[in-house]
Amino acid sequence: MYQSLLDSNPSLSPVLAEITRVGRYLWHKGWAERNAGNISVRITGILKEATFDRIAAPELPLSNPFPELAGEIFIMTGTGKRMRDIYTDPFNNTLIIHIEKGGTAYRVISHSIDTLGDLRPTSELSSHLNIHLFLRNNRPNSKVVVHTHPGELIALTHHPDLKNEKVINQLIWSMHPEAIVVLPKGVGLVPYTLTGSHSLGVVTLKALENHDVVLWEKHGCLAVGQGVEEAFDLIDVVSKSADIYFKCRQAGFVPEGLTPEQLEQLRRAFGEEEPKTDDC
């Protein structure tokens, strides 16, 4: 079924290829231990209704209903699946779901009952759907959610003094000129919330109102964007800042960081808008 969807929907292959490519980057970065991380893309409109038999597809309940997402289609990584396996075997590690009328169930349109096995949507499905709903309503071109576990970013959120959006963004910006250029609004900071919970999606939404990247305290980070590579790039830049910070600390010195004047010069040279340092 998956292969026939790809054959009859030419725009689907590049999306799947991007997911598998980024899955491989995440593994090589060391950000995807075991089954860590998940990726989803809203692909409604890419799949033609006539190319799949919705009614024949396996139907499964959604633990949290999303009536406003009825009719939407998503491609995503499977729960318990390894990022490093997605590249070599995408058909058994990713799946495509259609949200059913009423939003209380979904159908796996990429697989039949016989081929589905233990393949189920990411354990962070609830967060991802919440975010996709927000993006569709507020930033319709942003169709991608990437969640991963960069050790250097998780380590930052363990520092008691850095559990403050303003402070952590000053640190991130000051470590690397790219950071303020690519993320002039900085990152959002989400207080520790149970993994896989509906609440995690709810608190993440608040942080996404002003940001494209959020740090999940003591867990990882999440980025949204128009493409999977683009979301990956944002996380990569933030991680580089954290990496530089820790390299300096490991070498035994506290990094000087870019000065306020240097940051201001970067904002003026590259910024489209003033970053909100008080409430970002």
Catalytically active residues are: 124
* Helix boundaries (H) for 79-164: 83-88, 113-116, 125-138, 151-157
Token pair listed for 253: 């010195």
* Shortest Å, Cβ 38 to ligand 2HA: 5
* Shortest Å, Cβ 259 to ligand 2HA: 37
List, as own/partner pairs, every contact residues 187-190 make where C-beta atoms lie below 8 angstroms and the sequence separation is at least 24, other chains included.
187/211, 187/213, 187/214, 187/215, 187/221, 187/238, 188/213, 188/214, 188/215, 189/157, 189/163, 189/164, 189/165, 189/214, 189/215, 189/217, 190/214, 190/215, 190/216, 190/217
Contact string (CB under 5 A) for Zn ion, positions 145-164, x = contact: --------------------
* Closest residue to Zn ion in the complex (CB): 220
Longest dimension (CA), the chain: 62
Give dist(CA 116, CA 197) in Å, integer. Answer: 24
Cβ nearer to ligand 2HA, comparing 18 with 124? 124
Cβ nearer to ligand 2HA, comparing 35 with 210? 35
Return the range that interacts with Zn ion (CB under 5 A); candidates 65-73, 125-133, 218-226, 244-252: 218-226
38 binds, among Zn ion, ligand 2HA, none (CB under 5 to 8 A by kind): ligand 2HA
Residue 17, phi then psi, degrees to nearest 5 = -60, -40
Binding site for ligand 2HA (CB under 6 A): 35-38, 122-124, 147, 195
Cβ distance 44 to 72 under 8 Å? yes
Cβ nearer to ligand 2HA, comparing 42 with 147? 147
* Shortest Å, Cβ 221 to Zn ion: 9
Of positions 186, 220, 225, 227, contacts Zn ion by CB under 5 A: 220
Cβ nearer to ligand 2HA, comparing 1 with 32? 32
Residue type, 223: A
122 binds, among Zn ion, ligand 2HA, none (CB under 5 to 8 A by kind): ligand 2HA
Nearest to 235 by CA among 145, 164, 131: 145
Give dist(CA 31, CA 33) in Å, integer. Answer: 6
Cβ distance 126 to 205 under 8 Å? no
Cβ nearer to ligand 2HA, comparing 38 with 93? 38
* Shortest Å, Cβ 124 to ligand 2HA: 5
9 binds, among Zn ion, ligand 2HA, none (CB under 5 to 8 A by kind): none
Q: How many residues bind Zn ion (CB under 5 A)?
A: 1
- Binding residues (CB under 5 A) for Zn ion: these are 220
